[in-house]
Amino acid sequence: MQLKTTHVFILGYLCLAFYCLCTADKFYNRGNHEWTKLFMVQHWPTTVCKEIENDCRDPPNYWTIHGLWPDKAGECNRSWHFNLDEIKDLLPDMRHFWPDVIHPSPNRSQFWKHEWEKHGTCAAQLDALNSQKKYFGKCLEFYKNLDLNSMLLKLGIEPSVQYYQIVDIKNALTSVYGVVPKIQCLPPEQEEEVQTLGQIEFCFTKDLHLRNCTEPGVYSPFLQDALLTDETSMSHGLSVCEDGPVFYPPPEKTYH
């Protein structure tokens, strides 16, 4: 009788544990991971290297991809691990347009791993982004279609030792793309210095159409958290640019 009671107790305990795990999984995967827009983020490698103050060697002299980030969501499925084999067809473009500016080969895939596991698993709510190949492929498509490097040159905005005005850059980009981007800078280290252009973000709806990055008076605490914490240590010092002059730094080897 005692043995039977013990078996019933153990069976009941296992059922309760299984129920708790299922409930926790449901809460985790369907919890506070809803998002409303995507940030397609590009950064200027020269500023990235200045920001981190590490031994970046010959960073690209063109804008590169930082990531594709849903707002208000992060690490939506920790069991969905990054698999480099799933994007092997994309690797030539990934290496050129989405390099790990800070960590040279062979660690470059760690950057992509971070972007997928933190942001891609949330973006995967959309059928158009519900695999690693779709997620990285769509971001590459956005990058090529936006063609930020060429557009800036056509607008007469290029790396220079002379300063630009933030409002001029924002207005010029808005005139081309028809939406207001978000521009982020590295704040000056000393009072006599000016902010340094570091990152430009374009925003997309869930239908994958361009939209304004912010509405008047709207602030995104999630994005600021992302910038101040763990974006591969590549955005911890950036913030939305202040009105006024900005330095768009040429690659150091061109002016040192």
Positions marked active-site: 66, 115, 119
Reduced DSSP (H G I as helix, E B as strand, rest coil) percent helix, strand, coil of the chain, to 5: 45, 15, 40
- pLDDT confidence of residue 226: 39
CB 199 within 8 A of CB 184: yes
The pTM is what?
A: 0.80
| Nearest residue to 126 (alpha-carbon basis) of 207, 192, 217, 236 | 207
pLDDT in tens, 196-255: 999 999 999 999 999 999 754 333 433 443 333 334 334 558 999 999 999 999 987 654
- pLDDT confidence of residue 252: 73
Residue 123 half-sphere exposure toward CB, CA atoms < 13 A: 29
| Nearest residue to 250 (alpha-carbon basis) of 57, 100, 52, 60 | 60
- pLDDT confidence of residue 106: 60
H/E element, 173: helix 166-177
pLDDT in tens, 25-72: 433 344 567 899 999 999 999 999 887 766 677 889 999 999 999 987
| Nearest residue to 59 (alpha-carbon basis) of 44, 45, 73, 72 | 45
With pLDDT > 70 as the criterion, what percentage of the chain qualifies?
Answer: 74
Domains of the chain: 36-254 (3.90.730.10)
The first and second tokens of residue 187, run together, are 């704040």
**Cβ burial, residue 249 (10 Å; 0-12/13-18/19+):** buried
